[in-house]
Structure 1
Amino acid sequence: MWALQYTPKVVLSANDALFAEVSSCLRLWGGFRKLSKRLDEEACTFDLAQASWGPNPFAGLCLSHADVRGARTATLASVLDGLPVECLVDTNAVLPTLNQLGCYTLGHLRALPRAGLSRRFGRTVLDALDRAYGTLKAAHSWVLPPDSFTTSLELPQRVDNAGALLFAAKRLVLALCGWLAARQAGVTAITFGWLYDTMRARDVEAEGELVVRTATATRDPAYLMRLLGEHLDRTVLKGPVNTVKLGAAQLDAIPHPDGVLFPDKVKEGEAFEQCIEVIRARLGASSILVSALQDDARVGHLQRWDEDSGTTRMALDIPPRWPQPTWMFREPLRLLVRGNRPLYQGPLELLAGPHRVNNGWWDCHRQGGDGWQRRDYWLARSPSAGNLWIYRELRSPAEGDWFLHGVFS
């Protein structure tokens, strides 16, 4: 599954080897050197012993057995001729006889008469030799990604700390991202679980699980590992763990960013949404608040802050007829009045109004609130403070008093 993100042509052989045909996708990964470096870095996670390159998979297998990095087509025969004969698959049974004949390298084996070699050892050795040198083609059954993804990994030793499970999770996450790339999809939710050891307490369940959600569909292993790490840092294990498992809970297609073959723009907002998910995982769901517009004539009640649930917020269909202040006071400021004119850094000039608000009677029972409002709002101008948003109270006990509620930038 891990290798499928680099090429759709992957084969698992009977010799504990993984074959991946990458010649058709080298440009996609920036060339041979970059792809080779990336594969080497990730192969360590899967305990792969040796990675080698060759014009065909069987030549690469021979090179890996001899700890040779690789060989090109032009130099393949000369490189293989110098390898020990035991590097060739299917020769273990006849290896003592070949050594008695003085045949120690593949070059020695290739120099033997083919007819006599076939009569003595059958076609198995000759076919293996021809496949390694590329003179005999072989058909492969490519690995197909399954419809769903779930995998598990048995730990080499019991783990008591949830944070230590992240190291074992890396192998599972890389396999998941390979499967997602083959499916051209991303995850919006994954399940990471663990099985407790039989030495656990009697009141502890057999397994535990946590669900990790993402803001957008992704198959970025670094982001998934970071998000999973934040969740595991807040998790307390109830006993020793001996097995971890990973599954794709929710999938979503990842369309091409702009419908062109080679995009030159990064999707806007993606990094911000990932940052929000990390904050939510670290501080909890209540740490992320979003503003929700309300269909309310009271200026202080037009917006409400709720926990982000991912639902669509209501938008006002009709814009307000009156200008809204840029900044509002938490508590309205009572104004002085002289000659029936409110004062704030000098006499105020009433520019527009009144805009009457008579609303919120259902909230009049709230203690210490400004639920039921009966006010006349005015747009006023101060010679020093600029444009202001003031109102005159129409309800007792402050009826007739003037208040400053907001300012315009």
Structure 2
Amino acid sequence: MFAGTHRRIVSIWFPRLASDRVLRARPVEGPFALSQRIGSSETIYCLNGAAERTGLHRGMRMADARSFCPNLISQPARPDQEARFLRLLRRWAERYCPWVGLEGADGLVLDITGAAHLFGGEAAMLADMQARLARAGVTAQLGLAASRGAAWAVAHFGGSAETLLSLPVAALRLPTDTVVALQRLGLRKIGDLAASPRAPLARRFGQDLLTRLDQCLGHAPEPVTPEAEPPQFATRMTLPEPIGLQADVQAALERLLTPLCQKLATQEMGARRLCLTLRRVDQASQQVELRLAAPMREPARILPLFARGLEDVDAGFGIDQMRLEAVQVERLAPPQSNALQSAAPGHAPPEQLADLITRIGTRIGLENVLRFLPAESHIPERAFLLAPAAFSTPQSGFTAPRPRPLRLFAPEPLAAQGAEPPQSFRWRGMRLTLGRATGPERIAPEWWIEDENWRRGLRDYWRVETREGRRLWMFYTPQDPGWFVQGEFA
């Protein structure tokens, strides 16, 4: 019945991949489910066996699920973490054969042709897979057949390759609407479909239906394509003689940086975090980590930034091996050099600013080097945000209907009366006299945000120039009369 029976394909389906990942780290006794929000409703994304036995199922609304099962424990789903977990399982499955690929978002496919005898035969290999996954707390259903489509059908719908024709047509990996249409025509099993004339099926459902049927029966090829391993950005050096001087370590580091940066350039990547491992002759190891403010791949720029970390290295009786790895990388397009991209007069080039932020960050931490970013608010103290400069990009969106002071501080009360700026007042121990006032600019509080500082309500702001040379930003609160100083112009 099958063509090319020399091939042996194993399909592994993880029906509870998401919930198994969470429960392996934090086991839960009783019903458990992961939820996801679709539109305005929260539904079940994945659940364990205990939850299924209470009548819950995927796609069920969480509100209904909690009414059926009051003791249900839930948490939000993390599809990105499930994808990472599946990739880890793919690497684990390479212990059985080198040809391992992903099968959708919750499965693996292995081409074990010629490899089963290494584990005592196909039955022993499948038993070993099932036992190891069970010990790891991962639910799995396995299928073995001569084609990829048949193995998938057996893993998802049970049975064996010999009973393939008795499986439902849904085992052909068809869209739901196609399955429903076939069932309405009385074609409920793969055998029914295989015995039907092909021309009418192709005219009504298209060639994809027949392709899936042929792939399942082994009449059409469907290769197993292993996922390419991500590039490793690391270089290693074994020294003929132990070294201990910082200058020697820097010279060796420079030799490691050159090939590493060449690898990064080939992949159009830049390093954001580098880790230098120094192994001493007594087998002890030390690590020097460098976090960069921007992706880099120029050895001449990176090497001086390691200087501070190398000062704290204890070489002991000498260092005989060094390893440099780009632990975190980001996409970095090749630079385009033309006159239009040169820095504006009076401004440092972006790479010099990134190097400066890195140097300061190695001393106080990159998270503590901050920059101002604009925020959507007409309230003066809410019109900006503070963000780490290394993990944000500068923006030029600071706009205001009127000029704003360079220095902004908490409102400081003045002893003054009336809605017009006072002719004479005392502020911070200084007696000041009004020279010129511009205003008022009325600013209302944002009613949707509770703010204790704006409990007085409206504010009428004035730009006040004093005869003594101070240029202040003052406001008056009409509903609760009072004068305050909140800023000073340069």
Q: TM-score range by the shorter chain?
A: 0.3 to 0.5
The TM-score, its normalising length taken from structure 1, stands at 0.47
